[in-house]
A and B are shown apart, each in its own frame.
Chain A
Amino acid sequence: MTTEPGAMGLDVSLQKPSFIAVAMAGKTGPVTIVLLVFVAIWYAGAIWMNSTWEIDRFAKKNIDWTMVQLVSKTMQQERPILPAPHQVLVEMNDTIFLKKITSKRSLVYHSSVTLSSTLLGFVVGGLLGILLAVGIVYNTTLERSLMPWIISSQTIPILAIAPMIIVVLGAIGLKGLVPKAIISMYLCFFPVTIGMVKGLRSPDVLQIDLMRTYNASRWQTFWMLRWPSSMPFLFTSLKVAIAISLVGAIVGELPTGAQAGLGARLLAGSYYGQTIQIWSALVTAAILAASLVILIGWIERYVLKKMGTRP
């Protein structure tokens, strides 16, 4: 696995390693440093991209300026080309913790709108995906006729249909949560089906033959062999599914004319040039996505541990 053969043997010293060395040898240290560098680049980018406008302003007012003045100015613009990280954090603090949850300007409110359709779509789409996978594994005709379509539909930009689903369902009176959830559901169920078909097929011939020597019924083979062995595959595809489900919900909020949700915040921000608002919605969406994936990771670890599999 190691790419540097022999490196292990060479670099080992007999001294007790320091705390910093331990942190740097693992993942935490490097990840933190890379993140810090990223934030630094962000700041540098903010200064660089916002400075042109400030220099123009100084020139118009005929003021001599110093570097310090310029830098501090670039961090305080109301509609910067690239807001500095702390501006985004302040905006997020304002709209998450300081506003009432019911307020239209509260990011908690918008997040919950997006989250509810994400989760609804995820649950329904996931269940559908699993059911379809079971059907495909147990029915050759279904497999031969449906599987090629499911695989090739992965290559189609399904998200492009989102506005149509929203508008068409809106025309027949379906508004709000459900149309967005339908988009999320649609996006979710493909990865789950493909992952589960793989997972339900993952037991090898010997294991299946063993069940046959016991004269186990299809049902028993399913619950005792196929279902447990598909669990790692299920969780891998659920992680993909929930991430894509969130994307679906956000994109689903675009065509409705920016009413509620993180997508609406993005769109409204772009209409009015409120860059700080866009960035804070983006960061919130990213945090939401990361937490959802991590949450599924926890559930995965718990379930696999219960089953006695090595995580």
Chain B
Amino acid sequence: MSRQFDNFALVALGFVVLALLLPLTAGDSQLGWMDHPAAFSVLLLVGGVSLYTAWKGVHGTGVALLIVGLVFIGVLSAIGLMNDGLAGTASWGFWAYIFSLWALIWRGIAHISNTSTLHKGQRVATSIFIPALFGLWLLFLWEMLCVGFGVPGVLLPPPSAIFLQLISSLDILYADFVQTFMKSVLSGFIMGCGSGFIVAILVDRSPFLKRGLLPLGNMVSALPIVGIAPIMVMWFGFDWQSKAAVVVIMTFFPMLVNTVAGLSAAGKLELELMRSYGAGYWQTLFKLRLHSAMPFIFNALKINSTLALIGAIVAEFFGTPIVGMGFRISTEVGRMNVDMVWAEIFIAALAGSTFYGVMALLERAVTFWHPSYRVKHR
């Protein structure tokens, strides 16, 4: 009977051995593991745990969590090594150490994600824990690669530099956020979605217009509408109005098409029920058709929340007053101030996903009855 070794733990163990054998640094400094006793002991600990898991395997979430905890200590020690003179001179020994941590944490995450649990709280916790861990690991790797290889900040700044830039220029970032998001995006979004919705209600009464407008509306979503930005800048000036106009045009058609589709989503029986009550057009609209259109309308709102931000930022590439996210990105890129660009992108990402998240939460609250959200609680 042959023993089944744990593959990932074996890989981790192999890398620990490599880390011991290969030089820790390149260039003149020639530091070794013995110059960093704390890091060295963590390395040995990682090696020992790898050996143990390779032999015994991972049993139980507790062990997996312990492994994750150990990797966390390993991460701290690696950052410590970086600050201790390895920046820019890290060599294969150091990378082997990182790889061993990688293999080990992969093993830990794999165990947790393959464990199925009936407990709802635990399931939610894992569904947040795993991607969060993965994201943190990517950040760590990004930082190590940038610092370890001494990547020039112009090419790709390490996350720590971006973070420092972020907190030191919060006032500028906030002003940009207000200009682009609060003014251009929100006003354009509300006007675009609102007019799309109203036009859809009007169009819906005429089957002829529906047949004529729907194919065109569908096609428009494939067109590069952002290109209209320079024209809007000419018409409405440099300030937020021109950006809002771009956003209006970009969000109008998805809303129109989705609402029209949603208004015809009510079932035949449900409509006949209304007919059997002798209900009028508006009663049928408000009591039935708008409700069954809601999933479609929210689909449009979610698509539009992303489109609106893209539209406003790209429109700013064509000219703005000296504030705004798109403006900041294009000018700071020109100045090669890449830290600032990344900080701005981080804010844009945060704003975009929060906007989307709010729409998604609203959707859950309004269309709680839809099969995709139903919770059976008898």
Q: Which residues of A contact B (CB under 8 A)?
A: 1-6, 24, 26-27, 29-35, 81, 140-141, 143-149, 152, 154-161, 163-164, 167-168, 171-172, 239, 243, 246-247, 250-251, 254-255, 262-263, 266-267, 269-270, 273, 275, 278-279, 281-282, 285-286, 289-290, 293
Across the A-B interface, give the 10 residue pairs with the lowest CB-CB distance, nearest first.
A30-B212, A270-B230, A145-B134, A34-B212, A155-B356, A144-B113, A148-B131, A243-B222, A156-B349, A30-B211
B155–A171 touching, CB < 8 Å: yes
A281–B234 touching, CB < 8 Å: no
A273–B306 touching, CB < 8 Å: no
Q: Chain A's nearest CB lies how many Å from the CB of B185?
A: 10
Known: A164-B329, A251-B314, A278-B230. A34 touches B213 (CB 8 A): yes
Q: Chain A's nearest CB lies how many Å from the CB of B83?
A: 26
Task: Tell whether B310 is near chain A: CB-to-CB under 8 Å.
Answer: yes
Closest A residue by C-beta to B214: A27
Closest A residue by C-beta to B271: A5
A290–B114 touching, CB < 8 Å: no
A-B CB pair tally, cutoff 8 Å: 185
Q: Chain A's nearest CB lies how many Å from the CB of B166?
A: 16
Complex: A147 Cα to B127 Cα, angstroms: 10
A156 / chain B contacts, CB cutoff of 8 Å: 306, 348-349, 352-353
Complex: A281 Cα to B342 Cα, angstroms: 31
Q: Chain A's nearest CB lies how many Å from the CB of B28?
A: 26
Q: Which bracket fits the contact residues of B? A: 35 or more
A141–B224 touching, CB < 8 Å: no
Task: Tell whether B375 is near chain A: CB-to-CB under 8 Å.
Answer: no
A159–B310 touching, CB < 8 Å: yes
Complex: A33 Cα to B271 Cα, angstroms: 30
CB neighbors of A among B282-298 (8 A):
289
Binding-face segment, B29-37, B95-103, B201-209: B201-209
B234–A145 touching, CB < 8 Å: no
Q: Chain B's nearest CB lies how many Å from the CB of A76?
A: 19
A31 / chain B contacts, CB cutoff of 8 Å: 211-212, 215-216
A2 / chain B contacts, CB cutoff of 8 Å: 264, 268
Contact of B318 among A27, A148, A160, A267 (CB under 8 A): A267
Known: A30-B209, A145-B109, A149-B135. A250 touches B114 (CB 8 A): no
B110–A141 touching, CB < 8 Å: yes
Complex: A159 Cα to B271 Cα, angstroms: 43
Complex: A159 Cα to B317 Cα, angstroms: 11
B213 / chain A contacts, CB cutoff of 8 Å: 30, 34
Q: Chain A's nearest CB lies how many Å from the CB of B215?
A: 6
27 contacting pairs across A/B (C-beta < 8 A):
A1-B264, A3-B263, A5-B268, A35-B216, A141-B109, A144-B113, A145-B134, A149-B135, A155-B355, A156-B349, A159-B313, A160-B329, A163-B330, A164-B329, A164-B341, A168-B156, A172-B155, A239-B222, A243-B222, A251-B317, A254-B318, A255-B333, A263-B227, A267-B230, A289-B223, A289-B224, A290-B219
Complex: A152 Cα to B142 Cα, angstroms: 19
B314 / chain A contacts, CB cutoff of 8 Å: 159-160, 251
Task: Tell whether B17 is near chain A: CB-to-CB under 8 Å.
Answer: no
Complex: A152 Cα to B234 Cα, angstroms: 34
Q: Chain A's nearest CB lies how many Å from the CB of B103?
A: 12
Task: Tell whether B73 is near chain A: CB-to-CB under 8 Å.
Answer: no
Contact of B130 among A144, A159, A160 (CB under 8 A): A144
Complex: A158 Cα to B307 Cα, angstroms: 11
